[in-house]
Amino acid sequence: MQGTTMDGGSKDIATRTGEATAVDYDVDGIRRDFPILAREVHGRPLVYLDNASSAQKPRAVIDTERAVYEEEYANVHRGLYWLSERATDRFEGAREKVRRFINAAHGREVIFTRNATEAINLVAASWGRTFLEAGDEIVISEMEHHANFVPWQVLRDEKGIVMRQAPIGDDGEFLMDAFAKLLGPKTKLVAITQMSNVLGTVLPVADIVRMAHDVGAKVLIDGCQGVTHLPVDVQAMDCDFYVFSGHKLYGPSGIGVLYGKEELLDAMPPYQTGGDMIRSVTFEKTTWAPLPNKFEAGTPAIAQAIALGAAIDYLTGIGMERIAAHERDLLTYATQRLSAVDGLRIIGTAPGKASVISFDLDCAHPHDVATIADRAAVAVRAGHHCAQPLMERLGVPATTRASFGLYNTRADADSLAEAMEQVRRIFAR
């Protein structure tokens, strides 16, 4: 990749938006790696701004998944023939790529799941059911995704656990002092997001982990958004569990990751039972396989895991720091552009936030906003973003959300702002 332009759009758009940036980042070259970005929607070039929900896939990921099926596919772990050994090597190779990407100490601490939702349910069902009892406390935040809320609520009702919500400020900032006050000897788990999928707020997770450990609590970090925008080092963070989904990390759907510290995973009972997760089975008794297999019952998502490895290779080839710098620039630019739209209020302005912009337009419901935007081929999400408790806290039924990824451009932000002006022309009187 060469070149230094930030704008992926045509020359007149580049001129219109004015300044270039100092970041050396070939976004045009990156865009060419994503076949879907070349397509049109309603006769106009696609402007994809729903990355927080799911990201598009580079050719390297698509080609890897196809190549697995065309050249190297067989079931993993049990085969004694060449093809199965080859598929197993590639599947375990993908685990090693994940391990390195998040800097886990061992591959056996990396469990493949379907997605982050399944990873959190695994921890709730296995660790939570085994080690929590009535009166124990779980601390979450007001901005959790339902995936990091409902499993704990179900456990609460099942076991008589107490659940506490760490509050946020009106700008979406995580309030550390208020969080500290919720911690105590009864706190057994802090389950918290690294970055809000609605507000873009980035939480000081290393500090949160330290404070939780000081009172003897374990910490689960929901890394779904964080892992796509920030370099992750689970050992430096010192979290006990870390979860994310492949599909938001430019990889396939159907594959996710649970990282857990070995001693915790070792002490936990299996989440699902069946094939591939046993040491021995007799009619009287079954013993479990060692990590990570104990938590990977049944045939896994083989090609998807291998293609997730390709996504990680692709991202590390560019560099997470450089992606983060590009996205910071875009966030600043898009925030300026949207702020200039009459009646548009950005929801979530915490310092250090990352590339998600939720907003409210005073003249139209978010669903109408997203529908008008779609006519201009601008894909944004409208709704509660799987965070209804947060909507309640913010006092809004829904927001419109634009979320930026590594291939988005200033021209995309311009298209979004223009679509919002169009909404005003239609709805505001």
Ligand X SMILES: *Cc1c(COP(=O)(O)O)cnc(C)c1O
- DSSP 3-state of 4: coil
218-222 and 241-245: which strand pairing?
parallel
DSSP-assigned letter for residue 50: B
Q: Of 53 and 286, which has the nearer Cβ to ligand X?
A: 53
Q: Among positive and negative, which fits the CA dihedral 291, 295, 299, 301?
A: negative
Give the residue with the Cβ less far from ligand X, 122 or 361: 122
- At closest approach, how far in Å is the CB of 353 from ligand X? 14
Closest CA to 79 of 67, 91, 70: 91
- Matching residue, tokens 């339902």: 146
CB of residue 11 vs ligand X: minimum separation in angstroms? Answer: 36
Residue number, 7 or 144, with CB nearest to ligand X? 144
Residues 6+ apart with CB under 8 A from 93: 306, 309
Active-site hit among 224, 239, 363, 386: 386
**Please, which residue, 118 or 414, has the CB nearer to ligand X?**
118
| Segment (H or E) for 69 | helix 59-71
Give least dist CB 320 to ligand X, A: 17
Is the Cβ–Cβ distance between 114 and 256 less than 8 Å?
yes
| 126 Ramachandran zone, left/alpha/beta (phi>0; psi -120 to 50) | alpha
Query: In degrees rounded to 5, what are phi and psi of residue 218?
Result: -90, 160
Minimum gap (Å) between residue 21 Cβ and ligand X = 27
Burial of 131 (0-12, 13-18, 19+ CB in 10 A): middle
Minimum gap (Å) between residue 284 Cβ and ligand X: 37
Pick 148 or 293: Cβ nearer ligand X: 148
Cα angle vertex 252, ends 246, 257, to 5°?
Answer: 25
Nearest approach in angstroms of CB 304 to ligand X is 12
Distance in Å, CB of 297 to ligand X, minimum: 18
Q: Which amino acid is at 271?
A: Y
CB 115 within 8 A of CB 142: no
- Asked whether the beta carbons of 385 and 233 are under 8 A apart, the reply is no
Distance CA 27, CA 3 (A): 9
User: Is 239 part of the annotated catalytic residue set?
Assistant: no
The minimum distance between CB 229 and ligand X, in angstroms, equals 11
Q: Smaller CB distance to ligand X: residue 119 or 334?
A: 119
Residue 208 DSSP one-character state = H
Closest CB to ligand X among 119 and 341? 119
**Residues facing residue 281 across a β-bridge:** 286
Q: How far is the CB of 123 from ligand X (least distance, A)?
A: 13
* Bridge partner residues of 402 (DSSP): 357
Neighbours of 236 (CB within 10 A): 11
Q: Smallest Cα–Cα separation from 173: which of 36, 349, 51, 316? A: 349
Spatial contact of 203 and 181, defined as CB atoms under 8 Å apart: no
Judged by the rule CB under 6 A, the positions of this chain that interact with ligand X are 52, 115-117, 145, 147-148, 193, 197, 222, 224-225, 245, 248
**Minimum CB distance to ligand X smaller for 222 or for 329:** 222
Angle subtended by helix axes 59-71 and 302-318, to nearest 10: 150
Nearer to ligand X, 251 or 292 (CB): 251
Residues known to be catalytic: 386
